[in-house]
Chains A and B, each alone.
Chain A
Amino acid sequence: MPAVAAFLVPGLPHPLLRPDNLPWGQLASAYKRAGRAMAAARPDTIILYSTQWLAVLDELWQTRPRVEGLHVDENWYEYGDLPFELRIDTELAHACVTATRKIGVTSKPVNYDGFPIDTGTIVADAFLNEAKAPLVLCANNIYHDWDTTVALGRVTARQAEEMGRRYAVVGVGGLSAGMFREEIAIRDDHILDADADRWNRRVLDLIERGDKAGLNAALPDYAKAAKPDMGFKHMAFLLGALDEAFYGARVHGYGPIYGSGAAVVEFRL
């Protein structure tokens, strides 16, 4: 069974911690609408790829059955703490550790008390996973290119299908990555660069219309012009996991987070 739901969502903590600030509150509202869509899809596993879980050696997969704690973002600590309590689909995660060998990627399980869960994973889980479905969490190895990440998404989804999971896929990360480098009046937050803003809107429009050919053609220029978060690899993971089998999307919200671009997108499958 293919994915029952798929989302592209931001990983910065601002919408979760400061929804009282209008620009971020609009993203929080969008995130909540996506959360309702996720609940309606009733996945029994959520596969989540966050650009903020960085790996350098190998591909890492969370395999601790329960992961809980209190996280403080290293940049945005003044906005508050991020408590988390996650359940992990360890059976599927271990299967993925083995399965990535097929695509030439060496994987390792991660099962350690106190392992630092990244902000993006916590934010996405908080908004999208009210039912506390078990997660499959895999890292963003900074040396993996676009194609490797597409393959990683594909092999993960195939593994979920082989194991009979009713699964959803979430790519967690930003659009244009340029941020303000000084303190700003947060109520006036806006996309740092007008050209990046145009590019973000263009790419979202292509996704919304399900124009995969146009999207694939535009992505290299988008990467150069808007410098999306981590090369937009969270989108690569989604494209691989969905095998590009989406016919459109609904953009629940688009806006700035400290100058960077952020969007909550629900794919039509």
Chain B
Amino acid sequence: MATGEILAGYLAPHPPHLVYGENPPQNEPRSEGGWEPLRWAYERARASLEELRPDVLLVHSPHWMTHVGHHFLGVRHLRGKSVDPIFPNLFRYSFELTVDTDLAEACCEEARAEGLVSKMMRNPNFRVDYGTITTLHMMRPQWDIPIVGISANNSPYYLDTEEGMEEMDLLGKATRRAIERTGRRAVLLASNTLCHWHFHEEPAIPEDMSREHPQNYDGYKWDMRIIDLLRKGETREVFRLLPQFVEEAAAEVKSGAFTWMFAAMGYPEIPGELHGYGTVIGTGNAVMEWNLVKAGQAGRGAGNGGGGYGGGRGPSSFGSGDWRPGSADGRPRP
């Protein structure tokens, strides 16, 4: 079996409003549109995903929050109707998906090997969360690529941001090893919003875009600062700032998907491609892509390339388990 590789990672936020605005046949409510710049951003992301032709999409969702460890969908076929508990007026979506259970099992095993509590979810009646479904629909509405669904352990909230991010870092590295071991050509999806300050009431017409704008100016400035750094490939600086960003912008990246994805990719210092940015009930959402194939870094893994942090220690510093996102000086701790 060929060694697997991560082809790309996408920041792929999950506001159900985007599905609602698109009016796909799977979703019951009908809209007049709305949030077009973000939906067009996803159109560009869909086109690049089509070119990559991955075997599997892995998605880490903050709306499957688990207390005891990191969980993986472990049922081959799941179907049902997902109604968003927060926005039931917008999202009532009939889904049917195929899980790459072999890869999910491998991810779970590798996570255990990293010392993380991890579990396979094997209940066939399980209702997949709307974050997972929204991100997957927006990236690949055909639903013809198997997926791996990963829960967001609540460690960043229950413990603190830094400890939680350390777990997500380990989870990312475990995910990468599982992909390599199983020979998959994989794409990672981090289902996270950036600034998460939002309005507390919904307009009478949810898609009335005259009511849509950033809820918080400081949060917007934070988003632009982070996106600017990501576009320049300044990954190290982004992760140095991450705890402050989380604190001051209530950024949803706290839930771990963003760190998981970057850890799996080896924190590449490559420019992220911004497909688009927009607000949804005031929150900041960016659709971004890190294409490791185009950057010549696919298959190089965390320990094998992608630049390095920490005083010329080189690439090996990624794979050594000593990277601590948000450490005071942005460098790995001893």
Contact = CB atoms under 8 A, between A and B. Distances in A.
Interface in A103-147: 106, 110, 112-116, 118, 143
Contacts, number: 79
A254 B117 CA distance: 28
Interface string A54-79: 11111000000000001110110110
Interface in A167-191: 179-183
A72 B281 contact: no
A58 B202 contact: yes
A53 to B, nearest CB: 7
Classify the interface of chain B: helix, strand, loop or mixed.
loop
Q: Of residues A57, A113, A182, A258, which shows the largest number of chain B Cβ atoms within 10 Å of its Cβ? A: A57
B65 A74 contact: yes
Interface string B35-73: 000000000000000000000000000001111110000
B31 to A, nearest CB: 16
Interface string A180-210: 1111000000000000000000000000000
B126 A72 contact: yes
B86 A181 contact: no
A74 B69 CA distance: 12
Given A72-B125, A74-B129, A181-B158, A112 B202 contact: no
Contacts of B88: 110, 112, 115
Nearest to A70: B125
B27 to A, nearest CB: 12
B83 interface: yes
Contact of B68 (A58, A115, A180): A180
B92 interface: yes
Interface size class of B (residues with CB under 8 A): 20 to 34
Contacts of B67: 75, 179, 181, 258
Contacts of B121: 77
Interface string B106-138: 000000000001000111011101000000000
Contacts of B313: none
A58 B123 contact: no
Contacts of A55: 85-86
A52 to B, nearest CB: 10
A81 interface: yes
A201 to B, nearest CB: 23
Contact of B122 (A78, A106, A179, A180): A78
Contacts of B198: 56
B200 A143 contact: yes
B86 A56 contact: yes
Considering residues B65, B89, B121, B123, which has the most beta carbons from chain A within 10 angstroms of its beta carbon? B123
19 contacts: A56-B200, A57-B281, A70-B125, A71-B127, A72-B126, A74-B65, A74-B126, A74-B151, A81-B123, A113-B81, A113-B83, A114-B81, A114-B82, A115-B88, A118-B85, A179-B68, A181-B67, A181-B69, A258-B68
Interface of B: 64-69, 81-83, 85-89, 92, 117, 121-123, 125-127, 129, 151, 155, 158, 198-202, 281
